[in-house]
Amino acid sequence: MSVTSHTPADLTITPRNLTFGRSQAPAHWWYGGQVAPTAFYNALSMTFPAGESFFIRSVRHYRDDVAEPLKSQIGDFIAQEAVHSREHVHFNRQVADSGYDMADSQKAFEQRMADTRDRPPLFNLTATVAFEHFTAILAHAWLKHDRYFKGAPAETTRLWRWHALEEVEHKAVAYDTFLAVTGGMPGWKRWMLRANVMLRITPRFLKSRLADMKLMFQQDGVDTASTWLKVFGYLVIYPGLLRQVLPLWLMFFRPGFHPWMHDDRDLLAAAAGQLGDSAPSERAAA
């Protein structure tokens, strides 16, 4: 199996130092008054600060072992992820200010990420590859379909679409780093490594996010079968986020897979235009 990057030669990864929602009052069920999608996105957001730090650390470990242009792309990846982390710290504070107490759950996740420092760097890089693919396919759905975030506040929608835009831009950085540092590994072994890690982390990650949602439902007194039917409806039926991303998730297991085999640069151009044309966010000082 050849070690080939399919990253477009003209791809630009653009760190955007933006801020979102600083003047927006926190709302408890901010997603149009709907508890299920509100809890889902809250649960995702809680993982981002510690998760982005893990991704940065895992990829930065190999920055001096790769050549240009990948070395510069790693720098852009780090810059983007750092701002994502900062903005979701702010979003998570708004979630807390709206009345949810997720401190213990968040600390537990942060501790799990901290514990990864004792794992082999290649395992952490492979886990980053898997998580980055998962994030990129969610981002693709958010950018492609207007039905996501309907009813959400404008600034919250802009936050998530900006994050999605940059996740698609840098979706292959960790994977190209993985290809570069495993170039001497037999193809079957490289495939087994990434496939095994993806199969391990996906159910664990989803189970943990459902547990966080359950905690929010308990705090609201709505941990009922009816609420979980709404969760199933949102994620599987309509708008059907998990149903939509399943084929792209399965692509990861193809021998010779590369993130840019699914070329969605058309979404990047459209999303960048919308980000610039909508009501402006504050542009943070560099």
* Tens digits of residue pLDDT in 90-138: 999 999 999 999 999 999 999 999 999 999 999 999 999 999 999 999 9
CB 264 within 8 A of CB 140: yes
Peptide bond into 239 cis (omega under 30): yes
State which amino acid sits at residue 11. L
CATH class, 35-256 region: mainly alpha
Q: Report the C-alpha gap between 72 and 256 in whole angstroms.
A: 24
- Selection from 122, 50, 51, 101 nearest residue 212 by Cα: 101
- What's the chain's average pLDDT? 93
Q: Which residue has the tokens 């070329």?
A: 263
3 burial type by CB count under 10 A (0-12 exposed, 13-18 middle, 19+ buried): middle
Q: Where are the alpha helices (DSSP H) in 61-120?
A: 70-97, 103-115
Peptide bond into 37 cis (omega under 30): no
- Can you give the pLDDT at residue 2? 43
- Can you give the pLDDT at residue 274? 83
- Can you give the pLDDT at residue 3? 62
Q: Report the C-alpha gap between 286 and 274 in whole angstroms.
A: 22
Task: Provide the whole-model pTM.
Answer: 0.93
Q: Where are the alpha helices (DSSP H) in 98-172?
A: 103-115, 121-144, 154-169
